[in-house]
């Protein structure tokens, strides 16, 4: 890092300054780009967490590639939730799924939403 400074002296200086490094065993690092439909993916990265003066930073090294963002979002409801909403409101399955999706899977809110539409 600094010419003429050996590794032990560098580690001692970092300890004196309160800098701590911790390796992180990561499989993949994904950076989602704001305002873009792409993401940067670093497979088999070398990741180090650096803590200094109450701040944590991460150093990432490795080969990277850019790819389109995956549009998968975790589903917040299941088939039983859909059946419950259909049974309580008389709505179709498609309407029940749309209502559940719009209220982030909240059963009560989906039922109220569909009942208010009647």
**Domain at 51, CATH number:** 2.20.70.30
Whole domain around residue 36: which residue ranges? 20-68
In a shared domain, residues 86 and 56? no
Mean pLDDT of 80-105: 90
pTM above 0.95, yes or no: no
Please indicate, yes or no, if residue 73 is contained in any of the structural domains: no
Is 21 or 69 the better-scoring residue by pLDDT?
Answer: 21
What is the rounded CA–CA span in Å between residue 79 and residue 85?
10
57-to-7, 48, 49, 88 alpha-carbon distances in Å: 21, 8, 6, 50
Please indicate, yes or no, if residue 14 is contained in any of the structural domains: no
Grouping H, G, I as helix, E, B as strand and the rest as coil, residue 80 is helix
In a shared domain, residues 31 and 60? yes
Beta-carbon neighbour count of residue 97 at 10 Å? 19
In a shared domain, residues 83 and 61? no
Q: What is the mean pLDDT of the chain?
A: 87
The domain tally of the chain equals 2
Please indicate, yes or no, if residue 102 is contained in any of the structural domains: yes
């Amino acid at each position: 890092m600094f010419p003429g400074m050996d590794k032990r002296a560098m580690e001692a200086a970092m300890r004196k300054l309160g800098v701590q490094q911790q390796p992180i065993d990561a499989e993949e690092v994904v950076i989602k780009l704001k305002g873009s439909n792409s993401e940067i993916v670093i497979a088999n990265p070398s990741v180090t967490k650096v803590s200094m003066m109450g701040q944590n930073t991460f150093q990432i090294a490795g080969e990277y590639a850019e790819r389109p963002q995956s549009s998968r979002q975790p589903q917040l409801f299941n088939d039983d939730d859909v059946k419950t909403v259909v049974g309580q409101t008389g709505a179709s399955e498609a309407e029940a799924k749309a209502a559940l999706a719009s209220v982030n899977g909240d059963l009560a809110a989906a039922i109220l939403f569909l009942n208010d539409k009647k």
